[in-house]
Amino acid sequence: MRTRTLAASVAAAGALALAPGFALARLLHRAGFDPAADRLPAPFSVRITAIAPGRVTLRRGTEGLPGAHLEPGHYLLEAARGLARLGPVRETNGVVAIRDFEPLSGDIRPGDFARLDPFAFPGDPREAHGIAFEEVAIPAPLGEFPAWYIPGSRDTGAVMVHAKGANRRETLRLLPLLVEAGFPALAITYRNDDGCPPSPHGRYSYGRDEYEELEAAARWALDRGARRLLLVGYSMGGAIALSFIERSDLAHRAAAFILDAPMLDFASCVAHGARQRRIPLRYLAVSNRIAARRYGFRWDDFDHRRTALDLQAPVLLFHGDADPVIPVELSDALAAARPDIVRYVRTPGAGHIRSWNVDPEGYADAVRDFLRTLD
């Protein structure tokens, strides 16, 4: 009887010790691997309290993270009945913020709830910038994937890869600069995007598998006259670009990179998130093993730091020092290790993929200077 009681006590203690690991593994799956979580619409996190010519007053709404109305930079303000351009904070007392404001469409009124869209421009290249484009379908192993294509005069084609849970609109901040410089541009989609073929296992794989869609897009661009490739990657899109370099037979065609807050190592991002949530990092030693076993991956598959360090083509690298998703230290380390190829723009006060939003003029200047080196 005593032996059975002791064994039961040990088993219960073991289960109790593992409980945080299982809970964190489930949280990791929902936040990091499940595309369905990214398809939920962003909450209307701010409330419009007053509108005056060229100005809008915002305060915290009833949903979403506090302080969204104080986010620095330029955004698209999306309300239920209209859209507007939202500029920097001009005045604030920490409770309300007065910001630059330019109505675009619809009827936005005081009392409406709204959200800040970091992609900053609505619709597609034509609606956002008056840029003519073609809607094309890229054939890939899992099926056809839609893309925007804008022809250009250069023989280097730009292929643009958005972040996890985002869409092609993310590229609209950079796209006019590529078109201005004459680069053919292809803004692609990939597995698990809304309306696209899903991955067989239904989860993100941080470039390990998604590189196939980039490879298919690269082949499509090369078949239409491009001789070299400029790969543009946002967050997980950067991981996809690096996985392409690791795995694709077309990797030698990559002549340059523009990477914005690239996801160089997913395990570091998980630890970064745990620190912000005040979760003891010792729990990750258990939860990361449980997640890898339960969801069938290796953490090494999501570590692209070695590939980034071994690049032989020029890189323009952006990262905000207030990034809550991907630790800026990953980009710091890459820039410090490879100053021979990396031009690094470390943006003060910018959150995740917000370097353009915080400083669009500085962003544009850096991109133009970099593109001139590719002549």
pLDDT at 99 over 90: yes
pLDDT tens sequence across 220-249: 999 999 999 999 999 999 999 999 999 999
Alpha-carbon distance 160 to 312, whole Å?
19
Determine how β-strand 315-320 pairs with β-strand 254-260.
parallel
> What SS3 class is residue 374?
coil
pLDDT of residue 291: 87
pLDDT band at 252 (very low <50, low <70, confident <90, very high): very high
pLDDT of residue 22: 80
Alpha-carbon distance 98 to 57, whole Å?
4
> What SS3 class is residue 245?
helix
146: tokens are: 């839609």
Alpha-carbon distance 374 to 255, whole Å?
8
pLDDT tens sequence across 40-67: 888 899 999 999 999 999 999 887 677 8
Burial class (CB in 10 A: 0-12, 13-18, 19+), 222: middle
Identify the structural domains of the chain with CATH numbers, from first to last.
46-117 (2.40.10), 125-265+303-372 (3.40.50.1820)
Extract the runs of DSSP E, i.e. beta strands, from 261-341. Answer: 315-320
**Residue written as token pair 């484009």:** 133
Alpha-carbon distance 132 to 150, whole Å?
7
pLDDT band at 9 (very low <50, low <70, confident <90, very high): very low
| Angle separating helix axes 282-295 and 2-28, nearest 10 degrees | 80
pLDDT tens sequence across 323-336: 999 999 999 999 99
CB 36, CB 102: distance < 8 Å: no
**Residue written as token pair 């730091």:** 305
pLDDT band at 19 (very low <50, low <70, confident <90, very high): low
**The whole model's pTM is what?**
0.93
pLDDT tens sequence across 273-308: 989 888 888 888 888 999 889 888 899 999 999 999
pLDDT band at 13 (very low <50, low <70, confident <90, very high): very low
pLDDT of residue 279: 86
pLDDT of residue 12: 33
pLDDT of residue 11: 32
